[in-house]
Amino acid sequence: MSLPDDDERLVRLVHDLRTPLTVIAGFAELLERGIDRLTEEQRTEYVGRIASAARELREILDSERAERLSADEA
């Protein structure tokens, strides 16, 4: 079933996915680049940010899947 606002939903979904993806890539880059000079506190924070962004991605995808299933059943 095609939703009437599919295009806008897709724009929103892509937007919502990009931010946590960028956070994961960016903090990984910082860790890779500065692994020797970062403090223990910074390393811990950056790893935590990566884990948090990964959880956010999973939640977005789970939510999108649930909405799709609900729309298909309607």
Partner 1 sequence: MAPPGTTPSMGDRVTAIVCDDAPGFRALLSALLEDAGVEVVARGETWAEAVELAPGIDAVVVDLWMPELELDALATIREITRGSTLAVVTALDLDEARNRIGDIDVDLLLSKIAPPGDVAAAIRDNALARRGGAPVPEEA
- The residues binding partner 1 (CB under 8 A) are 11, 14-16, 18-23, 25-27, 29-30, 33-34, 42, 45-46, 49, 52-53, 56
Angle, nearest 10°, between helix axes 40-73 and 6-34? 160
Kindly compute the dihedral angle of the four CA atoms of residues 31, 45, 47, 39, in this order, to the nearest 10 degrees: 40
CB of 13 to partner 1, least distance (A): 11
Q: Which is nearer to partner 1, 32 or 72 (CB)?
A: 32
- In the numeric block, the tokens 């950056």 are attached to 46
Q: Which is nearer to partner 1, 18 or 65 (CB)?
A: 18
